[in-house]
Structure 1
Amino acid sequence: MNSEEQPILSIRNLNRQFGSGCRECGGGSGQLIKNYCLSCGTVYACRDLSFDVFPGEVLGIVGESGSGKSTLMKCLYFDQETTGGEGYISTYKDGNANLFAQSSQEKRYIRNHLMGKVYQNPILGLKMDFSSIGNIAEKLISAGERNAAGMEERGMELLTHVSIPVHRRKEAPRNFSGGMQQRVQIAKALSNNPPILLLDEVTTGLDLSVQASVLDLIKGLQRELGISIILVSHDLGVIRMLADRTMVMLDGKVIEKGLTDQILEDPQAAYTQQLVHSLL
């Protein structure tokens, strides 16, 4: 099997619950209203999620608010602990070490070297009082870079790449528009050439013309760098434009997955059919 056929990321039976569970909900397999237990109040945000992401692929994840897609992204980037499950990156410890069982130090290494994340809310991904180039330097320093001239050069290269004028590199992101803040986040996330990029609702709240330019940027970067992307959106138009394959989530579960064209043209699950028809 060549490396193109081996997943860069494999997730197996990922679970994330909020609450201890009870006899009624039976660890998520018993009596639930959607993904919520009326008896004990436990929320089963992610339930037995398994999927692969291949080198250079864009995997889209779509679902309504509360479906578990953003919780999944938080678990993948260690912003939240998983309740159970396994994850493997092929370039980390020969693909044999469960990411979720690593020490906090190892998780920091994975975040700083093997993944980048762009948050829906730029406040979570950027230090708003740092300069834009300082935000990029912070990520580089976290990965062990100490050469100031090299970091400045890399920062300028990335900001130019995402169409932030170089003369504004010393400005703080708080002075920028929402679209420019997302561009700075993308530059920061890409600074260490991670093989995996996580994009969580990155165009939500942006004007349509700004959305289009951010999506064009992502599409161009993905082609140029051959990076693997997990893209979460509630907008099927975004998924249609960027994703090779798509997973549909509802109430913490994957209810359908396949090639994006196939899912959009011939959806099988009733919920996916509703989603697709709402786009038409």
Structure 2
Amino acid sequence: MYEQPIIQVKDLNKRFGNGCHHCNDSAEANLFKNYCPKCRTIYACRNVSFDVYPGEILGIVGESGSGKSTVLQCLYFDQEVTSGDVYLDDPEFEGLNLLTLSSQKKRYVRNHKYGMVYQNPVKGLKMNFSTIGNIAEKLIAAGNRNVNTMQLIGQELLETVQIPIFRMKEAPRNFSGGMQQRVQIAKALSNQPPLLFLDEVTTGLDLSVQAAVIDLIKQIQRELQISMVVVSHDLAVIRMLADRTLVMLNGEVIEQGLTDQILEDPAHAYSQQLVYSML
């Protein structure tokens, strides 16, 4: 394990609503789960902190509404955070809290340092564009302008994710769900990001397709040594992919550690419930 994390997330908070004295004074005592019954504020993320190391896959697991996907949306700048700090181990951004950057700088980080694969491919792909056009869109955003170069990169990536080259001019709307996820992965990898976010990428897929997508993710991580944050409600997916795991409940990290450790000896009652549900 490397000593220096590639990304450090410190006390990330995301609140939907203004809050009130009822929940601001003592969120622990006055919330129903992560909801304030007085002012109807939802505390989607509460003081979430973690590090991700080079070449590591970090899993985030929890039930629907636990805040796990909101964490990724905040890191990828799809959501404005309420408060928190995010630091990237990169000379361009040394000592800078990414969450306080200008919109232009945030776009630069998204286009050069991050890749994102959404649960719903419609969020990550333009369904009426060609498949290779979707990949080119990300390359253009990262500053590429040479059409031949972009086509070569696109073809290599499609081969990597096992999409037939003869289908590269087809629109993703013609593809199955598993193939759409593969195109998303290719697009996310096109700028060679050091960090890849994957949000519930196997949800809704047939079991055989899920297995193929998981194998692809493991192959990419092994060959490219890219760091990943994988969000899932399915502990079986996390078990197959993640080196370390965070367990989230009601917007908070309630347990974290090596994935094997959490699976074999979960400390928190909710983690125990998750593990028992796998058996």
Q: State if a TM-score over 0.5 links the two structures.
A: yes
CA displacement 1:220-245 (0-9 Å, x = unmatched): 00000000000000111100000000
SS of residue matched to 1:17: strand
Q: What SS does the corresponding residue of 1:60 show, helix, strand or coil?
A: strand
Q: Does 1:207 align with 2:180?
A: no
Moved more, 38-47 or 22-31: 22-31
Flag structure 1 segments of 5+ consecutive residues without an equivalent: none
**Structure 2 match to 1:54:** 53
2:159 corresponds to which letter in structure 1?
T
Q: Secondary structure at the match of 2:204?
A: coil
AA aligned to 1:19 is: G
Which of 4, 14, 21 is equivalent to 1:23? 21
Shift of the alpha carbon at 1:4?
Answer: 2.4
Distance 2:54 2:159 in 1: 26
Q: Mapping of 1:223-234 within 5 angstroms?
A: 223-234=222-233
* Equivalent residue, structure 2, for 1:254: 253
Mapped to 2, the partners of 1:158 and 1:100 lie a distance apart of: 30
Question: Deviations 1:195-240 (Å, cap 9, x if unpaired)?
Answer: 0000000000000000000000000000000000000001111000
- SS of 1:25's partner is helix
Alignment of 1:57-96 (within 5 A): 57-96=56-95
Following the alignment from structure 1 to structure 2, what is the Cα–Cα distance between the partners of residues 219 and 103?
Answer: 34
Q: 1:29, 1:58 → 2: CA distance?
A: 31
User: Which of 10, 13, 22 is the equivalent residue of 1:12?
Assistant: 10
Show the 5 A alignment for 1:1-280.
Answer: 4-26=2-24, 28-280=27-279
- CA deviation string 1:70-90 (max 9, x = no partner): 111100100000000000000
In structure 2, the gaps of 5 or more residues are: none
C-alpha distance in 1, partners of 2:94/2:232? 28
Please give the alpha-carbon distance, in whole angstroms, between the structure 1 residues aligned to 2:109 and 2:136.
18
| Paired residues, number | 278
Identity %: 67
RMSD of aligned alpha carbons? 1.0
1:148-170 Cα offsets, whole Å, 9 max, x none, are 00000000000011000000000
Q: Kindly provide the CA deviation profile for residues 66-108 of structure 1, in whole angstroms up to 9, marking residues without a partner as x.
A: 0000111100100000000000000153531100000000000
Q: Which amino acid counterpart does residue 56 of structure 1 have in structure 2? A: G
SS at 2:21 equivalent: coil
1:4 alignment partner, SS class: coil
**Cα deviation, residue 5, structure 1:** 1.2
Q: Which amino acid aligns with 1:137?
A: A
Letter in 1 for 2:113: L
Is the Cα–Cα contact under 8 Å of residues 77 and 111 in structure 1 kept in the other structure? yes
Q: Secondary structure at the match of 2:22?
A: coil
2:19 partner amino acid:
G
Contact 1:49 1:254 in 2 (8 A): yes
Q: Letter of the aligned partner of 2:207 in structure 1?
A: L
CA distance in 2, matches of 1:217, 1:123: 20
Counterpart secondary structure, 1:117 = strand
Preserved contact between residue 24 and residue 30 of structure 1 (Cα < 8 Å): no
| Cα offset, 1:30, TM superposition | 4.2
Matches of 2:93 and 2:139, distance apart in 1: 24
What's the CA shift for 1:48?
0.4
Tell me the amino acid that sits aligned with residue 245 of structure 1. Answer: R
Q: Which TM-score applies when normalising by structure 1?
A: 0.98
Per the normalisation by structure 2, the TM-score is 0.98
SS in 2 for 1:182: helix
Change (3 A) 1:260 1:200: same
